[in-house]
Amino acid sequence: MASGVEVKSSSIDGKGCYATHSFRKGRKISEYVGERISRHEIKRRLQGAQRIHICAIDSYWAIDGSVGGNGTQYINHSCNPNAFIKIINGRIYFYALRDIAPSEEITVDYIASWHDDETKCFCNAPNCRGTINKIQGRSGSS
């Protein structure tokens, strides 16, 4: 488990990743670790997957946090997130988008995930767009 976080059940979806201490805006929360896989392997693993814990590095490589992950693979999507992803030298990191209090669930905006574009979002944010993926030309949940 990455330091400063813990995994508990989430009202958003299944399990979530929660802060165990505060993170100041702009501070690194953790690296997203797991198995490094290629585009071909991503496709194979997505078939029939119930839960997706794959995060893209670039158009070819990704990290599957369900193999050797440190808890950050449970970071859920929110349309009003408190963290964001930064890719540095082929590695994936989570940073605080704003101050995060202890016991807050850590969330990021997936923007373009491998989820189906119609996959509904249950983040409960006032500005929820209704789907996990941000679909071009669509705004809000209408």
Residues lying near Zn ion in the complex (CB under 5 A) are found at: 79, 121, 123, 128
CB of 123 to Zn ion, least distance (A): 3
Q: In terms of CB distance, is 103 or 141 closer to Zn ion?
A: 141
Which tokens in the block code for residue 94?
């989570």
Q: In terms of CB distance, is 59 or 136 closer to Zn ion?
A: 136
CB of 76 to Zn ion, least distance (A): 10
Long-range contacts of 20-24 (CB under 8 A, 24+ apart): 20/102, 20/103, 21/102, 22/99, 22/100, 22/101, 22/102, 23/96, 23/99, 23/100, 24/96, 24/99
Which tokens in the block code for residue 134?
């941000």
Alpha-carbon distances of 21 from 3, 5, 9, 29, 93, rounded to whole Å: 9, 8, 18, 10, 18
Q: In terms of CB distance, is 47 or 136 closer to Zn ion?
A: 136
Strand partners, 43: none
CB of 68 to Zn ion, least distance (A): 29
Q: In terms of CB distance, is 86 or 120 closer to Zn ion?
A: 120
Q: In terms of CB distance, is 3 or 141 closer to Zn ion?
A: 141
CB of 61 to Zn ion, least distance (A): 27
Using the structure block, give the residue that is written with the tokens 């201490």.
Answer: 21
CB of 91 to Zn ion, least distance (A): 27
